[in-house]
Chain A
Amino acid sequence: EAAVTQSPRSKVAVTGGKVTLSCHQTNNHDYMYWYRQDTGHGLRLIHYSYVADSTEKGDIPDGYKASRPSQENFSLILELASLSQTAVYFCASSDRDWGQDTQYFGPGTRLLVL
């Protein structure tokens, strides 16, 4: 079964601080994604990646950077955390392009920015 893990599972950060969220998958999937979930907004795509060392912007990339150093790992970086970035963040992976295969989601990271 597909396995996607995220760390940390929860984090409290200060406004203006740097936050790094990590994602690791053990499925040999090419595609990885970062979403944020807010009440009333569903899931919104922040960044995604098709291959190691390459990332693409999603629908809401402002204020976020992504890094894909290897096929297994995908990080989301908030260089200057802001109050509006308080949310639950989900990482997902899929074997081929999203439209052709299932996305497997991690358990999420709950981020609170104070």
Chain B
Amino acid sequence: QQQVRQSPQSLTVWEGETAILNCSYEDSTFNYFPWYQQFPGEGPALLISIRSVSDKKEDGRFTIFFNKREKKLSLHITDSQPGDSATYFCAASPGGNYKPTFGKGTSLVVHP
């Protein structure tokens, strides 16, 4: 059972456009949602995260929008740059000593 779903599987945008990556979850106990960015040949690295008490989190060009009622969140990357080309993982956890759950990732390509 896949508890964290990401869409689309792959996304291509032009430089300067806004990329929108989607994530949904099933477990209502999840309250912490980090997004990880992974470049080829490297391990994932935390990009930005949000807790369920918030509906929006911004960090520069990266913004998470969170809808607790619909159990959905999205990562918006504004003014996309070729250097943003990577795989993005949405993850979720209820906190405490619980195992994290990762989505399958979205591969983003930004064309110059």
Contacts and interface: CB of A to CB of B under 8 A. Distances in A.
Contacts of A74: none
Interface residues of B, number: 24
Interface in B63-84: none
A45 B99 contact: yes
Interface residues of A, number: 24
B95 A99 contact: yes
Given A42-B89, A43-B44, A108-B43, A99 B98 contact: yes
A99 B100 contact: yes
Given A105-B43, A106-B43, A99 B89 contact: no
A48 B99 contact: yes
A62 B41 CA distance: 26
Interface residues of B: mostly helix, strand, loop or mixed?
Answer: loop
Contacts of A50: 97
Interface in A71-114: 90, 92, 97-100, 102-108
Interface string A1-43: 0001000000000000000000000000000000000001111
21 contacts: A42-B103, A43-B102, A59-B99, A90-B43, A97-B98, A98-B93, A99-B31, A99-B94, A99-B95, A99-B96, A99-B98, A102-B34, A102-B49, A103-B34, A103-B46, A104-B45, A105-B36, A105-B43, A105-B44, A107-B43, A108-B41
Interface of B: 31-32, 34, 36, 41-46, 49, 89, 93-100, 102-105
